[in-house]
Amino acid sequence: MSEAKITKKELRQVFWRSFALQGAFNYERMQNLGYTYAMIPVIRKLYRNHDEQVSALKRHLEMFNTTPVVAPAIMGISAAMEEQNANDPNFDETSINAVKASLMGPLAGIGDSLFWGTFRVIAAGIGISFAQQGNILGPILFFLLYNIPNFLVKIFGLQFGYQVGVNSLERIQKQGLMDRIMSITTTIGLVVVGGMVATMLNVTTPLKFDINGAKVVIQDILDKILPNMLPLLVTFIIYYLMKKKVSITWLTVGILIAGILLHWVKIL
């Protein structure tokens, strides 16, 4: 019997199917059905035997949860391992899921901070700055700036995962490349968030006092000490409250009420 081999065709199918990863998200095993769906072309190609197909399907129906952007890389590795399994009777089947389980957590952490915490923030920051003037470039730039890295990581992740296999991520880790990319993007992300706090959090006070006929405008004084001091202060108060485990819903409700009350007593 000739060797079972995955071709470009199956990998392309896996790539497009990987987009539906969360289509059947459930609380029991999360993205498992989406993952299985993406692996079906590989399973069909590699296994002719009924029992092998059943065990492959059941294997990928186990619990799986990660950030969608890194899923193709893990699928590439799974595909490479399934291929090995199909050709080598001594291959340890359980290692396929062991690898999936060991990768999904750390990769989700990297993917979330890179994409959710950084690329999205930079894209949104630039997009919003245009959109606030009603400029259609806003949403368009937002969409492009996020999706170009999104697609690149998905495409190359899948290829890299398949070609280099399990060792690929270890190798990257050893070279410190991942750490460096994370440091670079986190730095850009923080600089942008700092800029956004200054330009997009519009908090000023209309408070004025008359002291012996001299008008004292509080906002002017604050601006002389540190421009945008109030936005910075508000952000840190909220950050502090979050650290104190106040939930987002309560913070939202609290801010809605505080906004109306503070406006009513003419402080904001």
Residue 212 CB, shortest distance to another protein, in Å, is 31
Stretch in the footprint of another protein (CB under 8 A) among 77-85, 88-96, 155-163, 179-187:
179-187
Looking at beta carbons only, is 122 or 165 nearer to another protein? 122
Rounded Cα gap, residues 10 and 265, in angstroms: 65
Is residue 161 near another protein by the rule CB under 8 A? no
Angle at 47 between CA 67 and CA 91, to 5 degrees: 75
92, 110 Cβ separation under 8 angstroms: no
DSSP state of 112: I
Is residue 93 near another protein by the rule CB under 8 A? no
Residue 213 CB, shortest distance to another protein, in Å, is 30
Q: Which helix (H) or strand (E) holds 51?
A: helix 50-60
DSSP string, 129-184: HHHTTT-THHHHHHHHHHHHHHHHHHHHHHHHHHHHTTHHHHHHHHHTHHHHHHHH
Residues 218-257 that bind another protein (CB under 8 A): 226-228, 231-232, 234-239, 242-243, 245, 247-249, 251-252, 255-257
Binding-site member from 164, 172, 188, 218 for another protein (CB under 8 A): 188
Is residue 164 near another protein by the rule CB under 8 A? no
Is residue 61 near another protein by the rule CB under 8 A? yes
Residue 17 CB, shortest distance to another protein, in Å, is 9
Q: How far is CA 39 from CA 12, 197, 226, in A?
A: 11, 43, 56
Stretch in the footprint of another protein (CB under 8 A) among 42-50, 76-84, 159-167, 210-218:
42-50
Binding-site member from 98, 155, 191, 221 for another protein (CB under 8 A): 191
Rounded Cα gap, residues 45 and 31, in angstroms: 22
Binding-site member from 12, 88, 92, 259 for another protein (CB under 8 A): 259
Binding-site member from 1, 3, 27, 209 for another protein (CB under 8 A): 27
Looking at beta carbons only, is 95 or 150 nearer to another protein? 150
Identify the bridge partners of residue 256 per DSSP, sorted by sequence position: none
Binding-site member from 13, 53, 84, 219 for another protein (CB under 8 A): 53
Q: Where are the beta strands (DSSP E) in 176-251?
A: 208-211, 214-217
CB within 8 Å of 103: residues ≥ 6 apart: 66, 74, 77, 169
